Each structure stands twice: as structure tokens, then as C-alpha cells.
Chains A and B, each alone.
Chain A
Amino acid sequence: DQQVKQNSPSLSVQEGRISILNCDYTNSMFDYFLWYKKYPAEGPTFLISISSIKDKNEDGRFTVFLNKSAKHLSLHIVPSQPGDSAVYFCAASVNQAGTALIFGKGTTLSVSS
């Protein structure tokens, strides 16, 4: 039973355009959400996070949107660059319980020049 779902295994975007990566969750106790980026043979790199008390968080080209009623979050990358090509993982945690992160299966983003 997957608690964090990334239903699109892959996404292809042209350089300069917007990339939108989606994530759905089922556990209403999740209150902290993160996006990680992973290159092959490397560990995940933290990108951006959002607390459940917010609906948007922005950091440079990266913006995360949270829709609690729909149990949905998305990562927007604008403008997309070829160096953004990687696997993107959505993760969630239940802060009060101090549990580890629950990850989705990832979405492979390919940005072509």
C-alpha cells in the first residue's frame, strides 16, 4: 500500500519550458513534504520542502504547491534546464511522530536542449 505516489514514471520537457512533477499521498497525518533530485550512482539531493501549514514555497526556479484537500503536491521548475535531467522523488513525513521519510517511486525528468 503506497502512501506516496508518483504516477508518472517519466516526463520530457524542452529547455526553457516549465516542468511540472506531481505527487499524491494517502496518509492525512503527513505534515511535511520534500522533493529530492537524484542522479545515477549518487545519493538524493534535497531540493525544496513545504510544511502543511503552507500551500506554496518558492526557491529560485523551484516552486512546490500543496493542496491538502486533494492530498496532492506538485513541483514546478521554471525555466527547465538540461542539468535538471534526473530522477525526482517526492517524500513525506509525520513530524510529530518523528518518523523517517516515505518516498514515492520517482519521476525521471528529461530536459532537451
Chain B
Amino acid sequence: DSGVTQTPKHLITATGQRVTLRCSPRSGDLSVYWYQQSLDQGLQFLIQYYNGEERAKGNILERFSAQQFPDLHSELNLSSLELGDSALYFCASSVGTQIDTQYFGPGTRLTVL
């Protein structure tokens, strides 16, 4: 158990809908990262937050957004969902601003029908 929690474990929704994925980092970690893992794209970095502020951006679509709250939990919002958004979404956390030792959560499996 990495200490990173993610909810829900599974999410099934329809095209055009909007969903919110939630992540709680390990105790003491200030950085949260979001990744997308699909069969054809592997693990893709989406975005990093550090202590409530956006720190780094990867291949995140404009339909996706994220935020980190004062209690350090983070939410990833996915809107106008398309079939191709079906994937595993992982959250990871680390102590500082610099990308270093990251601990991954168990993931949320999103299925868009």
C-alpha cells in the first residue's frame, strides 16, 4: 500500500458526460501528479500540483482540468467525454516540488460507452 488513495475504483459513463476523479496524497506529500494509462499510449503525464498551485503540465487536453485543495487532496475533472478517454487514471504524490520519488495510487478505471 503506497498511502495514496483514489476514488472511485471504477467509473462507467457515456460520451459527452463529465466525471470527477479524486486523489488523496500520502501524509506529508505536497505534490500530486495525474497520469493517464491507455493500452496504446502507455503512461502519460497530465499535470502536477504543488501545495495548491499548478506546477507542471503535460499532455492534458483542454477538456480536462485539475485542482488541489487546501487539504492537499486533488481532483481531476474530465468533461465532454469521448470513447478514447477510456483509460486508467493514476494519481501519484511526492514530498517536494521536484519530480522525484513518486508513489502511485491504485488508479481509477474509466470506461466511456
Q: Are A and B a genuine interacting pair, yes or no?
A: no
